[in-house]
Amino acid sequence: MQYINGLWIASGSHRFTSINPATGVAVWEGHAAGEKEVAEAVSAAKAAFPAWAAKSYAERYTLVDKFKSLIEGRKDELAVLIAQETGKTLWDSKSEVAAVIAKLTYASEAHEERTGVKAKQAQVGRAVVRHRPHGVMAVYGPYNFPAHLPNGHIQPALLAGNTIVYKPSELTPMVAEWCVKRWEEAGLPKGVLNLVQGEKDTGVALAKQNINGLLFTGSSATGKKLHEQFAGKPEVVVALEMGGNNPLLIHEVSNLKAAVHETLLSAYTGTGQRCTCARRLILSDWKQSAEFLELLVKSAQQLKIGAYTDTPEPFMGPLISMREVDRLIAAQETLEKSGAKVLLRMKKLHETLPFISPGIIDVSSVKNRSDEEYFGPLLQVIRVKDLDSAINEANNTQYGLSASIFSDDMSIFERYAPLIRAGLVNFNRQTTGASGAGPFGGIGMSGNHRPAGYYSADYCAYPVASVELDKLALPNTLPPGMTLS
């Protein structure tokens, strides 16, 4: 169903379904929004904008805080829905819900710090900076974090005074509908938040509308197409958070089990379906590197894989679809044919359900390696002779989202972290570890220099600079050539 101007509408161009990856059973069915519904949603958001923007920040905050309270009261329910629709493990789904709840704290702090009113005395009068909302923002959500990542755009955009048309992933419409119902329950005025469900055609139709901003989280391929579509439209704010071919560098660590633990979290959390997952493990030539790699392979082999309902709870769930399974298996085969050595073969675990085992493949001898983001549990190992070579290899990518360095020597991090081209650079922590108190985004094919997270406040409002005097007053000296009679 669509949610347009405060009403739930069971209409659209055609019906589509959402499937639980762990069972193959449909969990949601509804209509895809066509051009008509999309246009109506944008029109409703435009009509609602003046009144919403005119509300005080305190009034807007109260409604967003009500949404947060509703999520807190039903957090277990939302975690189960996320697990059902994405295949995530329950512990992973619960961490996503926690991020949704925590967002308001960070968003409100960021709003005040980065877009609040600032004034100081100027040579004449006061110099004041205020911020205003842009207008109608289109929010595109991904399937891997169907609640958290769209919410990371929605909350700061609403706090700033924007109105929204939200297009979730066609793979996770159920979670999106549930979350929008909580916004409705929180008391958002009609038209402030609108939901259009659907596949690619719905997203294309929304991007063609006369909107003021587009906030996107998803693949680099789709993000690039959107960027091209809005070329020559400087009046539209476009914020892109995309994927990454993320490097994890390890050099001289003594606690091998801790390094293996953080590597497993980096490569296989969410079954490798996080944009921050480590895709490339870069090992310098140090004394225990072979021992570390052997322990990593053994530990990855023992990871429990299953549905969120399994007992004991698994570490990894299924991928989102069989299509992604086939794509990853094909990638592994291509790398092997190119000269890579399989250390742990990634295997299809079910004929019709997208369960897959983790894979580790040594690609050190592969020439002209493809700079591709394999969105799943496939970790490529690259052996290098020293740390300088490791840094060069880390930067050998068109992406620039996340990176980590593991070492016992802090000076290694201090020396090399500034050289790594990425928006997130961690030390002795997994690549998937990001704080809501910091910006979230990358460079190159990972983003367009508009990071989300704490910095999402920046693209949700624009600054207005003023010079102000309490009363009109003549200067002591008139400009040359001017006479007042």
Catalytic residues, which ones?
241, 275
| Cβ proximity of 103 and 87 under 8 Å | no
Q: Which residues contact 306 (CB under 8 A, 6 or more apart)?
A: 22, 314, 316, 317, 355
Strand partners, 131: 463
Measured distance CA(29)–CA(27) in Å, rounded: 7
Measured distance CA(454)–CA(105) in Å, rounded: 10
Q: Which residues contact 328 (CB under 8 A, 6 or more apart)?
A: 319, 346, 356, 359, 374, 375, 376, 377, 378
Token code pair at residue 415: 């020396």
